[in-house]
Amino acid sequence: MNDFPTFLADVRPAIEDSLDRLLPKATAPPARLHEALRYSTFAGGKRVRPALVVLAGETLGARRERLLPGGAALEMIHTYSLIHDDLPSLDDDDLRRGRPTAHRRYDEATAILAGDSLLTLGLTILATHPAAAPPEQRRRAVEMTGAAIGTLGMIGGQVDDLAAENDWPEDAAAALDAIHRRKTGALLTACLRLGGIYADVDEERDGVLTALGVRIGMMFQIADDILDVEGTDGTLGKTAGKDAAARKLTYPGLHGLDESKRMLARTRDEALELAGVLPSGGGLLPSFVHYLSRRDH
């Protein structure tokens, strides 16, 4: 196995299995709510985040079965953020990966509560799994993730992104970076760092993972913005050109398409350098970085 797509295909069944075992059964009451959790979690996502937890953790010496529950927890937290972001009062999206969003498939109340449930469940899983890990490790997992997704992290990025829709901030380029470092980057960084926590890395290595995560988050967002310009509804599974229509602050909107592609390449090179510092040259992490920079899948 020498590239990320092969690794992803290999690890994905175990991730799906982990999610299936950790989510409440759809038949258990409250059944409609539990069904909604599963509807949104099993919506055809590529499972990049849990794969990153496993990839980082394995590269740093942890065993796969120790990494899977934490990976599933971060995928649930990612799903919560998508459900809430799609709500009418936020991004107001009807489609996600080609299917009706949670509030369209169910109703708004169910979508709000399903998001709340996934957030609660995700953090609780981090505190309780793996049962054999030292309590200190599980405590650090909650602490690190809680900070990454809170008001100074993911939620803060979403708030500023919504605010920027109405009123572009003065230094738009800095604001755009700051928004996405938190909105997209904070959770991706948490994936790498969580792998590190389960592998008991020291502070210095945690710092490398953080710096790498920031670059990966940026690449993710720039690639996503480019796709929104160049893609079609079919390749996106959502409404194409929506960002431009909403006058959203985006990389191509602000820097142009060509410069955005150059920024993507520069960030890729920084990420490759950081990954190279890790044991075994970062394992498949460089391949993941290349995968991101060619993102049209």
Q: Does 113 bind its own copies (CB under 8 A)?
A: yes
Reading the block at residue 283, the tokens are: 């394992």
Q: Does 138 bind its own copies (CB under 8 A)?
A: yes
Q: Exactly one of 156, 185, 253, 286 binds its own copies (CB under 8 A); which one?
A: 156
Query: Can you say how many angstroms the Cα of residue 57 is from the centroid of all Cα atoms in its chain?
Result: 16
Q: Exactly one of 10, 107, 233, 259 binds its own copies (CB under 8 A); which one?
A: 107
Shortest distance, CB of residue 224 to its own copies, whole angstroms?
21
User: d(Cα 293, Cα 286) in Å, to the nearest integer?
Assistant: 11
Q: Does 149 bind its own copies (CB under 8 A)?
A: yes
Residue 82 vs 292, nearer CB to its own copies: 82
Convert 226-253 to b/e letters by CB count within 10 Å (16 or more is b): bbbbebeeeebebebebbeeeebbbbbb
**3-state DSSP assignment of residue 127:** helix
Q: Does 155 bind its own copies (CB under 8 A)?
A: yes
Reading the block at residue 107, the tokens are: 């109703």
Shortest distance, CB of residue 115 to its own copies, whole angstroms?
8
- Helices 108-128 and 31-41 pack at an angle, to 10 degrees, of 80
Reading the block at residue 196, the tokens are: 């590190």
Residues for the chain: how many in total?
A: 297
Q: Exactly one of 44, 61, 146, 279 binds its own copies (CB under 8 A); which one?
A: 146
Residues forming the site for its own copies (CB under 8 A): 24, 29-30, 32-34, 37, 80, 84, 87, 89-90, 107-110, 112-113, 115-117, 119-121, 123-124, 127-128, 134-136, 138-139, 142-143, 146-147, 149-152, 155-156, 158-160, 162-163
